[in-house]
Structure 1
């Protein structure tokens, strides 16, 4: 029962962490484009942003899982070979007592493991935000954005667009051969049609 209570106590921290990840990634992504995304986003958009990014990109899932597995294997190796001098130096550098039995050492390493995984995710999402924002900005400045959708507004007018992002209330896009980012409420868009890449 104590274990469940500990997990329940961590849920608010998990939500806060997701909000921080979403805020950082979205803010850093839209900053080079001159958009204050916080004015156009709800807390739900920000909370779901990291999850939707990971689910929509299988490579991102593989990277996250690989690093978590790598940390886990590293932890197992540290516990298994804790009697070796070089492992004891590593454990002392993290202020862990290398003389603990293997079970106690494993328990003592869990917080370090969680912190390392959290820092890895934070670095990953900040890097994604920087990379995507700068890439879109460079392509926008050089007019090299390739349309990926055909947008139809309620009046029936259609236009090829490059869709930057969508949240629950707004579309962020650039029309073909234009350099200005348009922000349109979801209700003003009739349809979006994917342009097939050949």
Structure 2
């Protein structure tokens, strides 16, 4: 196993969720899939998905499209030390970060994105890092017990680890949550769960 081929979001209404992701972000089932589920879940689900884009105008365009499609703004787009970004919650409850490291537009604005990043909020970053390294993932960047970014190939979902409470703060929500993550990671692997209960299954 060396990458995530796609992620599956478990939602109450799969048809509505698929329509939202198409209308808001132009996403299809090649990277982000949805399936109906009634698994109990309350509060923060322990992860965020990010669309990383090339310039601030694209952040604004994606955020506006998400709101038009029914998303709720958790953090308005604004400049920061690392760039520019905002956070929205999709109608199905999934939290999305829209971000760029750039601070100025250099091309026509659009809803194009460069990367999809899955950030898992974990209790012990070092232990989870070792768990994934033992399963074949290579480390791209690592900052002690705070943050890990795994090296993944092109046209895949990038995987990163962050402290759960820190990730909730970035997302603008309370860190408490119970029940299902409502998320499945799909890759070239046998089914398993990581130390924080995130489920993997073979890619199909």
TM range (shorter): under 0.3
Higher relative contact order (CA 8 A, sep 6+): 2
TM-score by length of 1: 0.27
**Would you tell me which structure has more strand in proportion to its own residues?**
2
